[in-house]
Amino acid sequence: MQMLFKYNWGVREDWFKWCEELSVAEILEERSGGVGGILHTLFHIIDVEWSWVRTLQGKSDFNESFEQYSSIPKIRELEAAFRPEVEAFVPKWKRSFGTGMKSWRTGSSGM
């Protein structure tokens, strides 16, 4: 699990660097695939990663709107705020964390 998260963080950093070369209009432009534009998709990925970890720990979820984070610097700040908790949790990962949660595919309990 740790390798997967580290890989994702590396790819995300590459995306951030690439996005910094684009205009605001380009990263906000609605596109097919993802969740709207590129920046909104990055926001979604960071949100889901942190929300998933918090849910597994029995903590409250994140309920902010994308509009508050509609720039690369703000998305980077959001990730910087969330990542320490995710980094602390990932080494503690156990397969049993998924037991009893609803399956995303079927909606049934247990995996």
Number of domains in the chain: 1
Q: Which residue has the higher pLDDT, 1 or 60?
A: 60
Q: Hey, is 106 helix, strand or coil?
A: coil
| Predicted confidence (pLDDT) per residue in 9-21, tens digit | 999 999 999 999 9
- The end-to-end CA distance of the chain, in Å, is 17
- Contact call for residues 97 and 87 (beta carbons, < 8 A): no
* CATH code, domain carrying 86: 1.20.120.450
pLDDT at 61: 81
| Predicted confidence (pLDDT) per residue in 84-95, tens digit | 999 998 888 766
Q: Which residue has the higher pLDDT, 110 or 42?
A: 42
Q: What is the pTM of this model?
A: 0.78
Q: Which residue has the higher pLDDT, 88 or 34?
A: 88
Q: Is pLDDT at 106 greater than 80 in this prediction?
A: no
- 83 found inside a domain: yes
- 103 found inside a domain: no
- 107 found inside a domain: no
